[in-house]
């Protein structure tokens, strides 16, 4: 069967364009090279980022599916395009952390690199206008952003992705510091993992040198940004 084709653009995110397709249950992601940080206060482009993030995300989603972690991925269509199930996005992002960095470092005063005794799952309210504030499960239930059963699925999936990704990257000499996930509902109400999983949305450090191989190179002006994304793509074999 032929893959559905692009029709109208329905959304432009910071890193992707999203198109409706000839199949009402599917959308196409187009991965851009645009990069933003600090709620879009810092803007730039990372050469070939869209190509690398598309193939890295496709590989992770495929591997996750094979291990029973259901997600929206259907197939990679081209260098920059991915066909996925259409989801009604749940406005709750998870960040799962194994090692202290970024906002957790700021919030706790613990040094960057401090290894957590267990993984932590945090929730953030997906709202650019508010700067994606951190929230807890009581906010999520009270404001009706997700139901208890949905949140249980989200939490479990976040930990499953962590177990997979930590081991998969570990075997390739990379530490998984933390990562962000997004989820949505299919039209029958099933909660599915969506969005992307790539060096924009994860922190990856070289296990030996602790060199940052992710978007922190852009956020912190560390240089060699594209090379870091390339390094991740080649280590995972994407
Ligand atoms: P944080 O330490 O700044 O809270 O980021 C945690 C993780 O989430 C890190 O891997 C980067 C990712 N992230 C996003 O994907 N999008 C965002 O807007 C932010 C702030 C973080
Ligand atoms: N993507 C986010 C933004 O611009 C922030 C980040 O990844 O650091 O706002």
**pLDDT tens for each residue of 153-183:** 999 999 999 999 999 999 999 999 999 999 9
Would residue 168 be called left, alpha or beta, if left means φ above 0 and alpha means ψ between -120 and 50 degrees?
Answer: alpha
Ligand 2 atom closest to residue 42's alpha carbon, by position in its atom list = 4
Query: pTM of the predicted model, to two decimals?
Result: 0.98
pLDDT tens digits for range 29-44: 999 999 999 999 999 9
Question: Which of 31, 51, 86 represents a domain boundary (last residue)?
Answer: 86
Q: Give the distance (Å) from ligand 1 centre to CA of residue 24.
A: 31
Q: In this structure, are 128 and 204 located in the same domain?
A: yes
Ligand 2 atom closest to residue 40's alpha carbon, by position in its atom list = 4
Residue 111: CATH number of its domain: 3.30.470.20
Q: How confident is the model at residue 46 (pLDDT cuts 50, 70, 90)?
A: very high
Q: Which domain holds residue 188?
A: 89-236
pLDDT at 1 over 90: no
Closest C-alpha residue for ligand 2 atom 7: 37
Residue 196, domain member (yes or no) = yes
pLDDT at 15 over 90: yes
Ligand closest to Cα of 128 equals 2
Closest C-alpha residue for ligand 1 atom 11: 201
Q: How confident is the model at residue 2 (pLDDT cuts 50, 70, 90)?
A: confident
Domains in the chain, number = 2
Any atom of ligand 1 within 6 Å of the Cβ of 103: yes
Ligand 2 atom closest to residue 15's alpha carbon, by position in its atom list = 1
């Amino acid at each position: 069967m032929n893959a559905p084709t692009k029709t109208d653009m329905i959304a432009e995110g910071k890193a992707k364009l999203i198109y409706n397709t000839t199949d009402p249950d599917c959308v196409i992601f187009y991965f851009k090279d645009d990069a933003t940080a600090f709620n879009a206060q810092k803007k730039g482009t990372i050469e070939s980022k869209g190509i690398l993030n598309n193939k890295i995300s496709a590989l992770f989603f495929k591997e996750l599916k094979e291990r029973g972690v259901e997600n929206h991925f259907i197939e990679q269509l081209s260098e920059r395009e991915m066909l996925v199930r259409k989801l009604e996005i749940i406005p709750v992002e998870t960040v799962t952390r194994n090692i202290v960095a970024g906002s957790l470092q700021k919030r706790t005063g613990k040094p960057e690199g401090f290894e957590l005794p267990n993984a932590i799952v945090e929730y953030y309210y997906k709202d650019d206008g508010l700067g994606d504030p951190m929230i807890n499960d009581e906010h999520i239930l009270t404001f009706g952003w997700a139901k208890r059963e949905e949140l249980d699925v989200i939490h479990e999936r976040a930990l499953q992705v962590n177990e997979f990704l930590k081991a998969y990257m570990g075997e390739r000499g990379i530490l998984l510091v933390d990562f962000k996930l997004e989820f949505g509902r299919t039209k029958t109400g099933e909660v599915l993992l969506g969005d992307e999983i790539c060096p924009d949305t994860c922190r990856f450090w070289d296990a030996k040198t602790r060199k940052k191989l992710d978007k922190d190179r852009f956020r912190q002006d560390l240089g060699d940004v594209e090379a870091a994304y390339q390094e991740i793509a080649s280590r995972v074999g994407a």
